[in-house]
């Protein structure tokens, strides 16, 4: 597998926000989102055994496989090896490709509002995290997801790189959540704390 990086930090977004976690960032993505804030194309080729051995250096049970888009490379055997090491395996995905069935937690971040052809094919998600730009209706990105998504719905203000625009989007996200209380606000706390 081509691995961009493996590091130890706190989960900065969504349901498990603040939880110590080992992150395995796989290289590559099948989408090109205009707001992507992750440099994920580079990396080193690692075997599944090498990945597990590197993960063993860190004490947290919670492990997040992210990208890019992890479904391009993630295998059932790697998830099984991580389970054998006592890890709880969460995956962050755009949902356009199927995942191994033995993943413990799926964070679905649909991108259909921003990228043509990014329809969700997953039939399971434990949480939905919609990147909100203040324009697109969050529900429009869930229309292709069947069965209906998890009860954990998160609205995450889009980070545009422009502080003034980010404040406007965050204020709009707060107002949206207040009007639609089935949603919860997700802030990228790792950016607020200036950690990886």
Q: Is 29 a catalytic residue?
A: yes
Q: Is 33 a catalytic residue?
A: yes
Q: Could you say which of 5, 13, 16, 38 is catalytic?
A: 38
Q: Is 38 a catalytic residue?
A: yes
Q: Could you say which of 5, 19, 36, 133 is catalytic?
A: 36
Q: Could you say which of 33, 144, 152, 160 is catalytic?
A: 33
Measure CA of the first residue to CA of the last residue in the chain; give whole Å: 22
Q: Could you say which of 23, 96, 154, 170 is catalytic?
A: 23
Q: Is 49 a catalytic residue?
A: no
Q: Count the neighbouring beta carbons within 10 Å of the beta carbon of residue 76.
A: 12
Task: Give the integer Cα–Cα distance in Å for 182 and 172.
Answer: 16
Q: Could you say which of 92, 96, 127, 170 is catalytic?
A: 92
Q: Is 41 a catalytic residue?
A: no
Q: Could you say which of 16, 29, 96, 158 is catalytic?
A: 29
- Identify the CA nearest to 71 among candidates 90, 97, 103: 97
- Identify the CA nearest to 122 among candidates 137, 144, 140, 154: 144
Q: Is 66 a catalytic residue?
A: no
> Which stretch of DSSP H or E encloses residue 97?
none
Coil, strand or helix: which one is 95?
coil
Q: Could you say which of 83, 136, 152, 190 is catalytic?
A: 190
Q: Count the neighbouring beta carbons within 10 Å of the beta carbon of residue 59.
A: 8
Q: Could you say which of 37, 41, 137, 162 is catalytic?
A: 37
Which residues does the annotation mark as catalytic?
Answer: 23, 29, 33, 36-38, 92, 190
């Amino acid at each position: 597998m081509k691995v961009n990086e493996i590091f130890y930090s706190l989960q900065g977004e969504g349901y498990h926000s603040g939880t110590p976690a080992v992150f395995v960032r796989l290289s590559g993505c099948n989408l090109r989102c205009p707001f992507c804030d992750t440099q994920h194309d580079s990396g080193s080729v690692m075997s599944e055994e090498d990945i597990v051995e590197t993960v063993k250096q860190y004490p947290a049970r919670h492990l997040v496989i992210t990208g890019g888009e992890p479904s391009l490379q993630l295998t059932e055997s790697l998830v099984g090896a991580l389970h054998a090491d006592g890890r709880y395996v969460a995956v962050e995905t755009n949902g356009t490709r199927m995942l191994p069935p033995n993943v413990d937690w799926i964070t679905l971040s649909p991108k259909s509002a921003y990228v043509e052809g990014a329809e969700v094919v997953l039939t399971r998600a434990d949480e939905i995290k919609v990147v909100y730009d203040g324009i697109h209706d969050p529900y429009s990105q869930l229309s292709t997801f069947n069965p209906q998504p998890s009860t954990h719905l998160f609205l995450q203000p889009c980070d545009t790189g422009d502080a003034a625009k980010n404040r406007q989007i965050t204020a709009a996200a707060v107002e949206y959540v207040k009007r639609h209380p089935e949603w919860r606000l997700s802030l990228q706390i790792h950016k607020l704390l200036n950690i990886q």
